[in-house]
């Protein structure tokens, strides 16, 4: 090893405490990046692998009825490798006195031979015997049941049937039950008969023989199958083609991980700032050594190599520390995401390319950060470098800004002194403020985005005036329903709505028919107007539909197919619906209704439960069967669950960035103390006690903390809004009703002061321990 | 060996222009031991810097061993210095994190004139030459001033330069040590190395071949020839 490398290593060892801080900061950045990158690699692999292992259906056809002959005929098509009938039926479930929960019941023909969209048995019975039901593993918490519990299940026909929960299954393709607030159940045809339903299948899952990931091919095959079914006298209600080979949550996961990766890189950039600070200070303290090296034959590059080598050591050390940390972090993140998305991870193995990329970025980032300070530091001419008198001679007071600072605080005080001192090394101050303010910005943004989401949801739910929605399996005359409602106490207002499907050309959307003078939906009109009782051919569309269909502009007339009828509709308004990515059109109600919207006198869960029981009875008395129900509170819970992931992400981000900022401040303060060691000796010689020296440095750190808070507070509004808007836009295709959380400013002020005081404590303590003789002798 | 022709050096200072050297003409022969004597601020360090290529003249030319050094770029100058000039400073200027032997090896590592494997051996030999071989593996902070200056001299000889420049090499040493150090420089000159020392020590006359007196940036007309 040449002396050049030896010097690089020993200089770092000499500054080991500071070096360790910087390594830690870089390691934090690389760990965050490594954790996210590994998670990305693991989750995308495991999510799609787990999903593909279930042999997901290439296409799902909703048919009036399916028999074995029809399945056999479809399997004659060589393009179809498999076809399996199922039945999906809506209903309700309850265990004991617990109120009814919405249930989606899947009826499987032969549990011993599921070939398409397989289920994975988890525990208990398999297959379910007659009179038994299996529950999706994530839905147990929603249903509030355990294996072995007796439950009551009813479908739209209203027949309440006692069943036993005999086991748990994992249905990889379903959304998380907790988030959707739905119970997924699995049973057989015989049990379906017990529930009073016809023993028939109405859903056909097909698997294409070739090109399983080619959506166009699948569509062509599905069309052929649709034609065949229709040619045999059946009616195909709908054909769904899921994204081939991709878990339904694959995109959402990808977006989240992409956001996290950007954040990991951002933290890495922030830690690079610390490298700049450390190396700038180190080079400034070695100006004379640089001069000597150049005087004895060192070229600029030869000298620069020493400091680049140090940056390289920083990177290597940080990579060594951060890879295990990153792997641990990725495990935690993957487990959280797997729980959130309800899938299992078989292997946490991290691909080699992740290690290589992390190592490469970890090593290169400090080198890039070092480039400017090293190149600038080695540019000093030999004569100037040899004449350097040390850093304590750095000028302060030459500029107008310095002189302006002297007017702060009037006469001398600790704070005034701390303010002036903090501005002595301005480039370093700016870089330190940048890291600290970034931490503050993320923290404030996390709180503001959370407050804005809550605000948006509050506004959205405030527009929905119904506390309870009862859905029916078919359409009923509203007058008949109203009779049942009028016999039920506690109802403030009731409206009958009809929810169906419409289409513009090939593209489908949800159509909601509601009274033109509805009091239970307060449209947030962004263009045009809302519906009126006089409207007959008017349609109000939500922003999602307006975004998807450019033809549907206010004032335009479009021909839509709603149900079986094709008719011209006039677009009269566009309503904004936050967090509603599905396109919806609202039209005036003309016929029967398939849901009942109720505004209640008391909307607490107990009152709603009691009212529902009474209403069910009254509806049954009128011969009306409810298929399901949902309360405003339950819908809100589902939305809140979706938001939790964003809050957690933002808070974790701010904690890591704040940590890097704290380490940055600690490095800055220790460099400031080092450079002013002789000055402190002079102060001590003049009578300053160690406590005053200690206080002086802590005060300086706190001044920097308060300055960073000011920057973060000033930028918090626009940055929070931008982060919130972009996150919500990417995840939910909608905007955010921004609101500023003032409490965040108070909390971050306290955190900033605390963090600054803690970060400067150690350098201050060390400075106060140096004897006057040592301090004055320091060069 | 060294030829300065009409060399002037003027610095811009906040107080105005300051002429450190004024129209200097100087010739130094190979193997000559020259003492540049003058008061503090007289221009002797500037003169030495000109010869080492550490500073550039405002006007005039500097040629050392046939190389017009004022025309070289900073990087070429550094490389040239590494092979041709050994420099000894008043405050020794050893790198604190390198041992004595490593300090001596540093110019060899920069210039790469000596094979890697032989560098340590040569450094120890040079330390032996200046009588500090036993301190080869010690860090500078553990050495006395005289020992540090001996190491600095060994470092100056690392690449066998034909020219050694020393700026106040005894200025920070006691009289006994200063005498020993001057003897070392004398030995160098005896071995054919050109040595130029800037000093304000009066008793340097004992060891040097020629004394150049400098004041106010000019060489004194009465140049003493020993």
Q: Closest chain A residue to B157 measured between Cα atoms?
A: A296
- Any idea what the CATH number is for the domain that residue B192 is in? 3.40.50.300
Put simply, the answer to whether B106 touches A288 (Cβ < 8 Å) is no
Partner A contacted by B156 (CB < 8 A)? yes
Out of B74, B75, B82, the one facing A296 most closely (by C-beta) is: B82
DSSP string, chain B: -EEEEEEEEEEEETTEEEEEEEEEEEEE-TT-EEEEE--TTSSHHHHHHHHHTSS--SEEEEEETTEEGGGS-HHHHHHHHHHHEEEE-TT----TTS-HHHHHHHHHHHH--S-HHHHHHHHHHHHHHTT-GGGTTS-GGGS-HHHHHHHHHHHHTTT--SEEEEESTTTTS-HHHHHHHHHHHHHHHHTT-EEEEEE--GGGGGT-SEEEEEETTEE-SS-EE-
Confidence (pLDDT) at A403: 61
Put simply, the answer to whether A6 touches B54 (Cβ < 8 Å) is no
Residues A641 and A627 in one domain: no
Q: Which of A389-393, A733-737, B68-72 has the lowest mean pLDDT?
A: A389-393
Residues A117 and A32 in one domain: no
- What residue spans of A144-214 are helical by DSSP H? 177-180, 189-194
Q: Which of A60-74, A94-108, B180-194 has the lowest mean pLDDT?
A: A94-108
Per-residue model confidence as pLDDT tens digits over A401-456: 666 665 655 545 666 667 777 777 777 788 888 888 888 888 888 888 888 888 88
Q: Is residue A253 part of a domain?
A: no
Q: Closest chain A residue to B45 measured between Cα atoms?
A: A383
Q: Which of A318-332, A578-592, A679-693 has the lowest mean pLDDT?
A: A679-693
Residue pair A222/A239 in contact by the 8 Å Cβ criterion: yes
Domain span at residue A687? 390-466+632-779
- What residue spans of A198-249 are helical by DSSP H? 215-231
Residues A703 and A779 in one domain: yes
Among the three residues A388, A408, A429, which one is the final residue of a domain in this structure? A388
Task: Please tell me the distance from the alpha carbon of residue A243 to that of residue A241, in angstroms, as a whole number.
Answer: 6
Out of B97, B116, B155, the one facing A10 most closely (by C-beta) is: B97
- What residue spans of A676-689 are helical by DSSP H? 677-685
Q: Which residues contact A266 (CB under 8 A, 6 or more apart)?
A: A438, A657
CA distance A679 to chain B (A): 22
Q: Cα dihedral angle (A341, A344, A348, A350), rounded to 10 degrees?
A: -50
If one counts the domains in chain A, the total is 4
Task: Please tell me the distance from the alpha carbon of residue B102 to that of residue B98, in angstroms, as a whole number.
Answer: 5
Partner A contacted by B45 (CB < 8 A)? no
Among the three residues A598, A631, A664, which one is the final residue of a domain in this structure? A631
Length of chain B: 226
Per-residue model confidence as pLDDT tens digits over B4-19: 999 999 988 777 788 8
Per-residue model confidence as pLDDT tens digits over B205-218: 888 899 898 988 89
A368 vs A661 pLDDT, higher one:
A368
Residue pair A209/A78 in contact by the 8 Å Cβ criterion: yes
Per-residue model confidence as pLDDT tens digits over B150-173: 999 999 989 989 999 998 888 877
Task: Please tell me the distance from the alpha carbon of residue A766 to that of residue A231, in angstroms, as a whole number.
Answer: 88
Residues A601 and A655 in one domain: no
CA distance A308 to chain B (A): 16
Task: Please tell me the distance from the alpha carbon of residue A247 to that of residue A208, in angstroms, as a whole number.
Answer: 17
Maximal CA-CA distance, chain B:
52
Confidence (pLDDT) at A727: 74
**Per-residue confidence band for A394, with pLDDT thresholds at 50, 70 and 90:** very low
Confidence (pLDDT) at A87: 92
Confidence (pLDDT) at A392: 39
Put simply, the answer to whether A7 touches B98 (Cβ < 8 Å) is yes
Q: Closest chain A residue to B116 measured between Cα atoms?
A: A2
Supply A544's token pair.
């999602």
**Per-residue confidence band for B110, with pLDDT thresholds at 50, 70 and 90:** confident
Q: Closest chain B residue to A300 measured between Cα atoms?
A: B75
Q: Is residue A322 part of a domain?
A: yes
Is residue A360 within a helix (H) or strand (E), and if so which, with residue range?
A: helix A352-377
| Pairs across A and B, CB distance < 8 A | 86
Residue A501 has pLDDT above 90, yes or no: no
Q: Is residue A582 part of a domain?
A: yes
SS (H, E, C) B84-147: HEEEECCCCCCCCCCCHHHHHHHHHHHHCCCCHHHHHHHHHHHHHHCCCHHHCCCCHHHCCHHH
Out of A6, A14, A297, the one facing B78 most closely (by C-beta) is: A297
CA distance A763 to chain B (A): 23
Confidence (pLDDT) at A581: 62
**Per-residue confidence band for A32, with pLDDT thresholds at 50, 70 and 90:** confident
Q: Is residue A250 part of a domain?
A: no
Residue A737 has pLDDT above 90, yes or no: no
As for the ipTM of the complex, it is: 0.77
% of chain B residues with pLDDT over 90: 32
Q: What are the angstrom distances between the C-alpha of A514 and each of A139, A211, A477, A526, A677?
A: 32, 44, 13, 19, 78
Task: Please tell me the distance from the alpha carbon of residue A714 to that of residue B32, in angstroms, as a whole number.
Answer: 70
Burial class (CB in 10 A: 0-12, 13-18, 19+), A113: exposed
A574: left (phi over 0), alpha (psi -120 to 50) or beta: beta
Residues A625 and A665 in one domain: no
Q: Is residue A245 part of a domain?
A: no
Three-state SS at A140: helix
Residues A356 and A400 in one domain: no
Residue B96 has pLDDT above 80, yes or no: yes
Per-residue model confidence as pLDDT tens digits over B115-138: 988 999 999 999 998 889 999 999
CA distance B210 to chain A (A): 25
Residues A214 and A79 in one domain: yes
Which stretches does DSSP call E strand in A624-718? 626-631
Rg (CA), chain A: 34
Average pLDDT, chain A: 84
CA distance A6 to chain B (A): 7
Task: Please tell me the distance from the alpha carbon of residue A558 to that of residue A570, in angstroms, as a whole number.
Answer: 6
Out of A10, A11, A297, the one facing B111 most closely (by C-beta) is: A297
Interface residues of A toward B, Cβ cutoff 8 Å, are 2-4, 6-7, 10-11, 13-14, 288-289, 292-302, 381-383, 386
Confidence (pLDDT) at A393: 40
Residue A351 carries which DSSP code? Answer: P
Q: Which residues contact B195 (CB under 8 A, 6 or more apart)?
A: B32, B33, B34, B163, B164, B165, B166, B185, B188, B189
Q: Closest chain A residue to B110 measured between Cα atoms?
A: A298
If one counts the domains in chain B, the total is 1
Put simply, the answer to whether A294 touches B83 (Cβ < 8 Å) is no
Q: Is residue A589 part of a domain?
A: yes
Task: Please tell me the distance from the alpha carbon of residue B23 to that of residue B16, in angstroms, as a whole number.
Answer: 19
**Which of B12, B69, B82, B85 has the highest number of chain A CBs within 10 A, making it the mutation to test binding with A?**
B82
Residues A215 and A74 in one domain: yes
Residues A622 and A473 in one domain: yes
Q: Is residue A100 part of a domain?
A: yes
Average pLDDT over residues A703-712: 90
Among the three residues A339, A356, A388, which one is the final residue of a domain in this structure? A388
Put simply, the answer to whether B95 touches A298 (Cβ < 8 Å) is no
Which residues in A lie closer than 8 A to residue B86 (C-beta atoms)?
Answer: 296
Partner A contacted by B160 (CB < 8 A)? no
Residue A657 has pLDDT above 80, yes or no: no
Q: Closest chain A residue to B92 measured between Cα atoms?
A: A292
Q: Is residue A106 part of a domain?
A: yes
Task: Please tell me the distance from the alpha carbon of residue A548 to that of residue A400, in angstroms, as a whole number.
Answer: 58
Task: Please tell me the distance from the alpha carbon of residue A342 to that of residue A335, in angstroms, as a whole number.
Answer: 10
Residue A128 carries which DSSP code? Answer: P
Task: Please tell me the distance from the alpha carbon of residue A541 to that of residue A537, in angstroms, as a whole number.
Answer: 13
Confidence (pLDDT) at A391: 38
Domain span at residue B54? 2-225
- Any idea what the CATH number is for the domain that residue A101 is in? 2.40.40.20
Confidence (pLDDT) at A731: 66
Task: Please tell me the distance from the alpha carbon of residue A523 to that of residue A541, in angstroms, as a whole number.
Answer: 10
């Amino acid at each position: 090893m040449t002396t050049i490398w030896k010097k690089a290593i020993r200089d770092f060892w000499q500054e080991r405490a500071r070096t360790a801080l910087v390594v830690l900061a870089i390691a934090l950045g690389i760990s965050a990046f490594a954790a996210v990158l590994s998670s990305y690699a693991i989750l995308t692999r495991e999510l799609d692998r787990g999903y593909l292992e279930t042999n997901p259906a290439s296409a799902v056809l909703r048919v009036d009825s399916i028999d074995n002959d029809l399945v056999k005929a479809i399997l004659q098509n060589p393009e179809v490798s498999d076809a399996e009938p199922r039945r999906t039926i809506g209903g309700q479930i309850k265990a004991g006195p617990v109120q009814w929960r919405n249930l989606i019941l899947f009826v499987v023909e032969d549990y011993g031979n599921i070939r398409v969209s397989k289920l994975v048995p988890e525990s208990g019975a398999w297959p379910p015997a007659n009179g038994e039901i299996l529950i999706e593993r994530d839905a147990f918490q929603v249903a509030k049941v355990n294996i072995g519990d007796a439950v009551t299940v009813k479908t739209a026909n209203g027949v309440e049937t006692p069943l036993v929960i005999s086991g748990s299954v994992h249905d990889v393709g379903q959304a998380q039950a907790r988030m959707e607030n739905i119970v997924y159940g699995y049973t057989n045809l015989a049990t379906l008969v017990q529930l009073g339903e016809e023993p028939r299948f109405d859903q056909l899952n097909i698997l294409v023989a070739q090109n399983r990931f080619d959506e166009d091919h699948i569509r062509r095959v599905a069309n052929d199958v649709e034609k065949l079914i229709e040619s045999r006298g059946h009616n195909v209600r709908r054909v769904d083609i899921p994204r081939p080979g991709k878990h339904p949550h694959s995109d959402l996961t990808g977006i989240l991980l992409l956001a996290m990766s950007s954040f990991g890189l951002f933290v890495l950039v922030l830690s690079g700032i610390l490298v700049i600070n450390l190396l700038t200070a180190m080079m400034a303290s070695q100006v004379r050594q640089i001069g000597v090296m150049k005087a004895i034959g060192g070229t600029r590059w030869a000298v620069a190599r020493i400091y680049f080598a140090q940056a390289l050591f920083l990177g290597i050390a940080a990579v060594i520390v951060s890879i295990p940390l990153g792997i641990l972090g990725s495990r935690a993140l993957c487990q959280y995401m797997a729980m959130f998305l309800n899938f299992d991870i078989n292997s946490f193995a991290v691909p080699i390319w992740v290690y290589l990329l992390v190592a490469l970025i970890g090593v290169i980032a400090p080198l890039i950060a070092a480039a400017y300070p090293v190149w600038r530091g080695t540019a000093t001419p030999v004569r100037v470098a040899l004449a350097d008198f040390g850093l304590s001679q750095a000028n302060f007071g030459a500029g107008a800004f310095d002189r302006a600072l002297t007017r702060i605080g009037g006469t001398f005080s600790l704070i005034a002194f701390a303010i002036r001192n903090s501005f002595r090394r301005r480039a370093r101050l700016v870089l330190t403020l940048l890291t600290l303010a970034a931490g503050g910005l993320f923290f404030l943004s996390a709180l503001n985005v959370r407050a804005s989401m809550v605000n948006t949801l509050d506004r959205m739910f405030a527009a929905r005036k119904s506390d309870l929605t009862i859905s029916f399996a078919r359409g009923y005359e509203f007058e008949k329903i109203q009779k049942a409602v009028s016999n039920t106490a506690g109802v403030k207002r009731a409206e009958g709505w009809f929810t169906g499907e419409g289409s513009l050309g090939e593209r489908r959307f949800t159509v909601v028919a509601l009274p033109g003078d509805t009091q239970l939906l307060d449209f947030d009109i962004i263009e045009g107007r809302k519906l009126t009782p006089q409207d007959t051919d008017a349609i109000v569309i939500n922003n999602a539909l307006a975004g998807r269909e450019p033809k549907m502009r206010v004032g335009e007339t479009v021909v839509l197919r709603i149900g079986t009828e094709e008719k011209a509709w006039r677009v009269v308004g566009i309503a904004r619906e936050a967090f509603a990515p599905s396109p919806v059109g609202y039209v005036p109600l003309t016929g029967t209704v398939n849901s009942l919207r109720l505004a209640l006198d008391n909307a607490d869960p107990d009152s709603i439960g009691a009212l529902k029981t009474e209403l069910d009875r009254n509806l049954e008395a009128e011969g009306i069967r409810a298929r399901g129900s949902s309360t405003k509170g339950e819908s809100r819970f589902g939305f809140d669950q979706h938001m939790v992931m964003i809050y957690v992400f933002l808070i974790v981000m701010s904690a890591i960035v704040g940590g890097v900022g704290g380490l940055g401040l600690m490095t800055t303060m220790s460099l400031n103390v080092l450079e002013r060691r002789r000055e402190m000796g002079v102060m001590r010689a003049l009578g300053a006690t160690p406590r005053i020296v200690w206080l002086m440095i802590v005060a300086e750190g706190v001044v920097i903390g308060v300055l960073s808070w000011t920057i973060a507070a000033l930028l918090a509004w626009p940055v929070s809004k931008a982060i919130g808007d972009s996150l919500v836009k990417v995840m939910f295709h909608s905007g955010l009703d921004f609101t500023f959380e003032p409490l965040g400013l108070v909390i971050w002020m306290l955190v900033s002061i605390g963090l600054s005081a803690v970060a400067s404590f150690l350098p201050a303590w060390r400075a106060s321990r140096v004897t006057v003789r040592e301090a004055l002798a320091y060069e | 060996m060294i030829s300065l022709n009409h060399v002037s050096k003027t610095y811009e200072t906040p107080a105005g222009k300051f002429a450190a050297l004024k129209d200097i003409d100087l010739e130094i022969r190979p193997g000559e031991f020259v003492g540049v004597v003058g008061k503090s601020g007289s221009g002797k360090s500037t003169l030495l810097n000109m010869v080492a290529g550490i500073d550039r003249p405002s006007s005039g030319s500097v040629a050392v061993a046939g190389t017009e050094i004022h025309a070289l770029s900073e990087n070429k100058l550094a490389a040239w210095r590494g092979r041709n000039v050994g420099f000894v400073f008043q405050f020794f200027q050893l790198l604190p994190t390198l041992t004595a032997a490593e300090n001596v090896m540093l110019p060899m590592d920069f210039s790469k004139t000596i094979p890697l494997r032989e560098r340590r051996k040569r450094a120890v030999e040079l330390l032996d030459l200046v009588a500090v071989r036993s301190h080869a593996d010690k860090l500078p902070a553990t050495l006395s001033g005289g020992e540090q200056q001996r190491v600095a001299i060994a470092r100056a000889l690392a690449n066998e330069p034909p020219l050694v420049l020393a700026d106040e090499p005894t200025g920070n040493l006691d009289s006994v040590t200063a005498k020993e150090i001057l003897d070392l420089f004398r030995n160098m000159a005896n071995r054919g190395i050109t040595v130029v020392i800037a000093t304000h020590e009066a008793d340097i006359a004992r060891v040097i071949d020629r004394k150049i007196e400098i004041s106010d940036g000019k060489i004194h007309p009465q140049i003493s020839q020993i």
